[in-house]
Structure 1
Amino acid sequence: MVKAVVLGAAGGIGQPLALLLKANPLVTELGLFDIVNTPGVAADLSHISTPAKVEGFLPPDDGLKKALAGADIVVIPAGVPRKPGMTRDDLFKINAGIVKDLAAGIATTAPKAFVLVISNPVNSTVPIVAEVFKKFGVFDPKRLFGVTTLDVVRASTFVAEILGDLSLSKDVVVPVVGGHSGVTIVPLLSQSSHPLPAGFAKDSYDTLVNRIQFGGDEVVKAKSGAGSATLSMAYAGAEFAAKIIRAVKGEKGIVAPSYVSVEADAAGGAALTKELGQELAFFSSNVELGTDGVTKIIPLGKITEAEQTLITAALPELVKNIETGVNFIAAAYSTEEPRL
């Protein structure tokens, strides 16, 4: 029995994500929560002929608590999507409080659930969730994940396009490390399962890296202010959630990049820290998944000079993003106490 919960289930990411989770035969119960429309979304999904029982809840009458009761995996796409001209700082100011309150709900109702954070900016919202869990005394670094899968999906698709065969896109595997915004997104193209063409030009390489890093901007612009990368993000979120569910059910050898606490694996975190040359609380790297969540953080391994340059550029931004999330919770709880 697996209960999956989507917080922000009526939004642009939440609805298609809930649909994909309903279609997953391993999900037997699906809890949906949002500030509007969730009962209607749940009723609609409940007519689909798959095993999951679906219930939708709104904030009144302890709706968040009811949605989270018995949750095994919680996915958080809640918040406001990015619009043209909106900076990551703008997005943070809007979404930080939303994520904080949802994290408190998880801490009090489903503290053992695996928590997958999609709400942007992920580099800062994952530390927010971690700090809230620490305040409530329930933080388990092995069970908290920032979903960076969309960067991997984009990298796979774009490499397949360059190779001239989109049918390869499901097979192409490109590790993407660092974080989940702009320059913090570092595709390790030298480790791609399907190498780039021989003699691939440097300017073409730079263009590809930039497209992977700023693919979200491409979508925001194409939607002319009407939305962000909602459908592709829902797909990526469902893909990662499916891997977590499979691992929890005992499947071995599942490896996927995710933005996690380096405390989740002491040995792997130490090796990664040595490679980076500085300590970071969170970093996205290949992670081996198991029944308890993070089993192993896999170091970067052999990378090129160009990739090292990208990582060097990412580190100061990651430090700033992490501090932003941590400082937000420190300030929030300076005037209020966490309550169980």
Structure 2
Amino acid sequence: MVKVAVLAAGGIGQPLSLLLKSHPQVTELSLYDIVNSPGVAADLSHICTKAKVTGYKGQENLDAALAGCEIVVIPAGIPRKPGMTRDDLFNINAGIVKGLAEAIAKNCPKAFTCIISNPVNSTVPICAEVFKKAGTYDPKRLFGVTLLDIVRSSTFVSECKGTNPQETKVTVIGGHSGVTIVPLLSQVKGLTFSQEEVEALTHRIQFGGDEVVKAKDGAGSATLSMAYAAARFVDSLIEGAFMKKPVVECAYVESPLAAADGCSFFASAIELGPSGAEKILPIGPLSDYEQGLYKACVEQLKTNIAKGVNFVNQAA
């Protein structure tokens, strides 16, 4: 028994909610949006699993949607369109995330909060600053969901090498946009890559989202694959935090790993347990090529983090 809230029942939220409705440990599923959520909830409620689904529509019902929630997943915001970067989304999505974070701090301050809303590099620091101002911040309970980068890496590497994607493990560090995404191909067990393969795979992993935006021809961004990745992260979080079976996943969290380079948040492999992000695992040795990727990553990432922090503090 776990109560989960999904804040936005749209392109990502609907398939994510479908996957969570099927989760054996989810007993209550709370869906919030400014439109359509009661209809989505009614549709999901006909599925023969034990999770009770309730839809909450409109700002006036946000408090009720969050009451008693133990995990909150936030995919709210506008999707990317052709030619847009994640940073282009900032001005709209930053305000949305800030408002939702304030409601979480008020209604379920001890919930594990999982941020999908882009740009994740900035929206996670926004949440952290809101929680700090409310006196509820616990860095172990706030996550940027970057697992889509790992899912894509497993898929693309397996396509290149003819391996099983579900058994192909790739650690991805840094952030969740463009050059801040650093796949550690040198650490993939049992596989070796030519420099040409490394460069091609790295570029595809970093800009995989653009493939989807282009293929959808302006009609959306990566919703189904993101929903799958988010559901997998929630599953791992439930396993570690509620079933007390330590599990390792990559996520974007407050971290000391790149603090010396000005990045207070950083994605890496973490061990999930009852308190959330219980251990931040070492990065391990990087190849010369990956060291170059890391340098480019932190230069961009520290700017993204500062943008999120400043958004909250200037608003105050």
> What's the secondary structure of 2:26's corresponding residue?
coil
1:10-29 matches, within 5 Å, as 11-29=10-28
Partner of 2:290 in structure 1? 307
2:146–2:251 contact (8 Å) kept in structure 1: yes
**Cα distance change on mapping 1:194 and 1:74 into 2, 3 Å:** farther
Does 2:233 align with 1:240?
A: yes
1:219–1:229 contact (8 Å) kept in structure 2: yes
5+ residue gaps, structure 1: 263-268, 334-340
Does 2:300 align with 1:317?
A: yes
1:1-340 matches, within 5 Å, as 1-9=1-9, 11-59=10-58, 62-165=60-163, 168-196=164-192, 200-262=193-255, 269=256, 272-273=257-258, 277-333=260-316
| 1:16 Cα deviation from its structure 2 partner | 0.3
| 1:35 Cα deviation from its structure 2 partner | 0.6
| 1:216 Cα deviation from its structure 2 partner | 0.2
- Report the Cα distance in structure 1 between the residues aligned to 2:134 and 2:297, rounded to whole angstroms: 31
| 1:111 Cα deviation from its structure 2 partner | 0.3
Query: Quick one: which amino acid aligns to residue 247 of structure 1?
Result: G
- Report the Cα distance in structure 2 between the residues aligned to 1:188 and 1:287, rounded to whole angstroms: 15
2:244–2:273 contact (8 Å) kept in structure 1: yes
2:3–2:28 contact (8 Å) kept in structure 1: yes
Q: Deviations over 1:250-276 (max 9, x none)?
A: 3333011100012xxxxxx3xx24xx7
2:151–2:229 contact (8 Å) kept in structure 1: yes
| 1:299 Cα deviation from its structure 2 partner | 1.4
Give the alignment's TM-score, normalised by structure 1. Answer: 0.91
1:287–1:294 contact (8 Å) kept in structure 2: yes
> What's the secondary structure of 1:240's corresponding residue?
helix
CA RMSD in angstroms comes to 1.2
- Report the Cα distance in structure 2 between the residues aligned to 1:22 and 1:192, rounded to whole angstroms: 33
Query: Quick one: which amino acid aligns to residue 172 of structure 1?
Result: T
| 1:59 Cα deviation from its structure 2 partner | 1.6
2:272–2:279 contact (8 Å) kept in structure 1: yes
- Report the Cα distance in structure 2 between the residues aligned to 1:89 and 1:27, rounded to whole angstroms: 33
Q: Deviations over 1:134-181 (max 9, x none)?
A: 11110000000000000000000111111124xx11111100000000
Query: Quick one: which amino acid aligns to residue 48 of structure 1?
Result: I
**Cα distance change on mapping 1:163 and 1:108 into 2, 3 Å:** same
1:172–1:194 contact (8 Å) kept in structure 2: no
2:170–2:185 contact (8 Å) kept in structure 1: yes
| 1:331 Cα deviation from its structure 2 partner | 1.3
1:32–1:57 contact (8 Å) kept in structure 2: yes
| 1:96 Cα deviation from its structure 2 partner | 0.5
5+ residue gaps, structure 2: none
> What's the secondary structure of 1:12's corresponding residue?
coil
- Report the Cα distance in structure 1 between the residues aligned to 2:187 and 2:175, rounded to whole angstroms: 18
| 1:280 Cα deviation from its structure 2 partner | 1.8
| 1:248 Cα deviation from its structure 2 partner | 1.3
- Report the Cα distance in structure 1 between the residues aligned to 2:276 and 2:105, rounded to whole angstroms: 17
2:262–2:302 contact (8 Å) kept in structure 1: no
- Report the Cα distance in structure 2 between the residues aligned to 1:279 and 1:287, rounded to whole angstroms: 20
**Cα distance change on mapping 1:326 and 1:43 into 2, 3 Å:** same
Q: Deviations over 1:81-102 (max 9, x none)?
A: 0001123332001100000000
| 1:204 Cα deviation from its structure 2 partner | 2.3
**Cα distance change on mapping 1:331 and 1:317 into 2, 3 Å:** same
**Cα distance change on mapping 1:194 and 1:120 into 2, 3 Å:** farther
Partner of 1:266 in structure 2? none
Give the alignment's TM-score, normalised by structure 2. Answer: 0.97
Instruction: Count residues in correspondence.
Output: 316
> What's the secondary structure of 1:170's corresponding residue?
helix
> What's the secondary structure of 2:309's corresponding residue?
helix
**Cα distance change on mapping 1:59 and 1:318 into 2, 3 Å:** same
